[in-house]
């Protein structure tokens, strides 16, 4: 009896330890997504008003637009590189170490950006240093979630993976709301009036320092609180036992062939569609629709987006739970056509119906954003379930990040489509195309909610 009681105590302690590891890994992944998105939107929200601080004076409007876009695009281009590098690190060395290294990296780079001198001090080198650092930042940011998210999903109970994936990606709207609140505070405290104003000289630096500090705290959290994935350790031990039987290969080699290669192709097709629809909401809607078409004031745009992203925080979690209940593949297959019809219809109403009141615009924008971005509450879990343990981090990182490149040029597709239809209809057409591509990509793959790791 004593032996049985002791065994029960040991088993209870083991379960308690696993549960603590699970909670810590999930919280780490959420804050990794949060800080990743916080850093991504820093130049969009905080630097946009003061890019002249880094650029030569008297530029044409076209050149200003090109230089401004490079600051954002170079970060996006760095993300697939980082996803590949740190994905292989996560699969070879460990998810935890990949997370620590990548988070530490973008913390240092973000701090270096905060210390950059302006054009008045070092000339055009100031702008190119900014672009270079944002590219390097993108590499580390691309690696940040590549280790953290597989680690969290591997620790999750099978029945809770949907909730966990939705909760992790909810870090994105939480970060968007946070960065806007920080920016509003900075604008209120430090006047912005030309390149010599307090905000232009040093006010914009404070959010970057804050981003760096957050990254440092997250790295420390992973060092002291997050344990390595038990599933990865078990798989690594099994491979080590068979190491003499075959030559060691990079995870990328296994990823590009056989079943994993087919999984990667399917994920890239699906994600290309859903990135295209996501870009219409996160990039085109604020600048192209709310500002240029509906002519909302800065305050009205900020209010609309803050309410929308507040709602998205909860809708992502709800989507993850619905996907857990009905199946992730079925969720995508249903939502793709809904985006292409209902979502496209809502976007058409916003872009073409005149006389909409601000409350109506806010309500329509919220419903549109919830419908179009709902697949993202399921995507993190689904992609991780599509790959085996040896290539899961690499497959997730590459599938998630590489697929963003083609949709990132949505503005060029809109320009090309404008030769066949009114410009206002082109984002509606892209929403239809993206939704259908996402659904077709999902149909190419299997259901994954019952997959065992």
Do residues 86 and 226 touch, judged by C-beta distance below 8 A? no
Give the mean pLDDT of 80-86. Answer: 91
pLDDT at 252: 67
Residue 138 has which token pair?
């993108």
pLDDT at residue number 8:
62
**Mean pLDDT, the chain, integer:** 89
Confidence of residue 409 (pLDDT cuts 50, 70, 90): confident
Q: For the segment 214-250, what is each residue's pLDDT rounded down to a tens digit? A: 999 999 999 999 999 999 888 777 665 555 545 555 6
> Positive or negative, the Cα torsion across 439, 445, 448, 453?
negative
Token pair for 237: 């031990």
| Residue 272 contacts residue 441 (beta carbons within 8 Å) | yes
Q: Give the confidence band of 197 by pLDDT, cuts at 50, 70, 90.
A: confident
Average pLDDT of the residues in 356-361 = 95
Q: What is the pTM of this model?
A: 0.88
pLDDT level of residue 148 (50, 70, 90 thresholds): very high
Dump pLDDT digits (tens) for 254-276: 787 788 899 999 999 999 999 99
Mean pLDDT, to the nearest integer, of 76-94?
Answer: 90
Structure tokens belonging to residue 248: 């060691």
User: What domains appear along the chain, each with residue ranges and CATH number?
Assistant: 20-229 (1.20.1250.20), 251-453 (1.20.1250.20)
Sign of CA dihedral 244, 245, 246, 249: negative
Q: Are 320 and 382 in contact (CB under 8 A)?
A: no
How much is the pLDDT for 77? 83
The full 3-state SS of the chain, as one line of letters, equals CHHHHHHHHHHHHHHHHHHHHHHHHHHHHHHHHHHHHHHHHHHHHHHHHHHHHCCCCCCCHHHHHHHHHHHHHHHHHHHHHHHHHHHHHHHHCCHHHHHHHHHHHHHHHHHHHHCCCCHHHHCCHHHHHHHHHHHHHHHHHHHHHHHHHHHHHHHCCHHHHHHHHHHHHCHHHHHHHHHHHHHHHHHHHCCCCCCCCHHHHHHCHHHHHHHHHHHHHHHHHHHHCCCCCHHHHHHHHHHHHCHHHCCCCCHHHHHCCHHHHHHHHHHHHHHHHHHHHHHHHHHHHHHHHHHHHCCCCHHHHHHHHHHHHHHHHHHHHHHHHHHHHHCHHHHHHHHHHHHHHHHHHHHHHHHHCCCCCHHHHHHHHHHHHHHHHCCHHHHHHHHHHCCCHHHHHHHHHHHHHHHHCHHHHHHHHHHHHCCCCCHHHHHHHHHHHHHHHHHHHHHCCCCCCCCCC
Instruction: Find out whether 373 and 312 touch, Cβ atoms under 8 Å.
Output: yes
Q: What is the spatial distance between Cα 56 and Cα 59, in angstroms, rounded to a whole number?
A: 7
Question: pLDDT tens across 417-437, in order?
Answer: 989 999 889 999 999 999 999
- The most distant pair of C-alpha atoms in the chain lies apart, rounded to whole Å, by 86
> What's the mean pLDDT in 326-339?
97
């Amino acid at each position: 009896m004593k032996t049985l009681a002791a065994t029960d105590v040991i088993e209870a302690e083991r379960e308690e330890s696993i549960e603590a590891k699970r909670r810590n890994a999930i919280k780490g992944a959420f804050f990794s997504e949060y800080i990743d998105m916080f850093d991504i939107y820093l130049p969009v929200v905080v630097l946009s008003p003061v890019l002249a601080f880094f650029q030569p004076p008297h530029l044409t409007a076209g050149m200003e637009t090109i230089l401004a876009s490079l600051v954002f695009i170079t970060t996006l281009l760095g993300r697939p590189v980082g996803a590949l590098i740190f994905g292989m690190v996560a699969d070879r060395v460990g998810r935890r170490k990949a997370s620590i290294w990548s988070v530490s990296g973008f913390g240092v780079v973000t701090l270096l950006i905060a210390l950059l001198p302006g054009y008045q001090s070092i000339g055009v080198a100031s702008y190119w240093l900014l672009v270079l650092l944002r590219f390097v930042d993108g590499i580390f940011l691309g690696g940040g979630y590549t280790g953290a998210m597989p680690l969290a999903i591997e620790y999750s109970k099978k029945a809770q993976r949907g909730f966990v994936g939705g909760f992790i990606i909810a870090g994105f709207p939480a970060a968007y709301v946070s960065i806007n609140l920080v920016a509003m505070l900075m604008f209120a405290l430090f006047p912005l009036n030309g390149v010599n104003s307090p905000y232009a000289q040093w006010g914009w630096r404070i959010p970057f320092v804050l981003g760096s500090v957050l990254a440092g705290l997250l790295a420390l959290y992973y060092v002291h609180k997050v344990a390595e994935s038990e599933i990865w350790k078990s798989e690594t031990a099994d491979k080590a036992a068979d190491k003499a039987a075959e030559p060691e290969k990079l995870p990328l080699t296994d990823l590009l062939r056989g079943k994993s290669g087919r999984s990667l192709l399917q994920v890239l097709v699906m994600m290309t569609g859903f990135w295209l629809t996501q870009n219409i909401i996160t990039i085109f809607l604020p600048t192209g629709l709310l500002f240029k078409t509906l002519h909302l004031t800065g305050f009205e745009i900020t209010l609309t987006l803050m309410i929308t992203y507040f709602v998205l925080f909860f809708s992502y979690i709800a989507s993850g739970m619905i996907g857990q209940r009905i199946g992730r593949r079925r969720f995508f297959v249903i939502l793709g056509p809904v985006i292409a019809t209902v979502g496209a219809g809502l976007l058409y109403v916003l872009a073409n119906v005149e006389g909409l009141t601000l409350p109506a615009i806010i309500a329509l924008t919220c419903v549109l954003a919830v419908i179009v971005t709902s697949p993202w509450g399921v995507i993190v879990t689904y992609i991780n379930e599509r790959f085996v343990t040896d290539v899961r981090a690499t497959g997730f990182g590459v599938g998630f990040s590489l697929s963003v490149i083609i949709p990132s040029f949505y503005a060029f597709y809109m320009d090309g489509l404008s030769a066949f239809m009114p410009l206002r209809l082109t984002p509606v057409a892209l929403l239809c195309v993206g939704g259908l591509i996402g659904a077709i990509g999902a149909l190419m793959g299997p259901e994954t909610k019952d997959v065992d790791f």
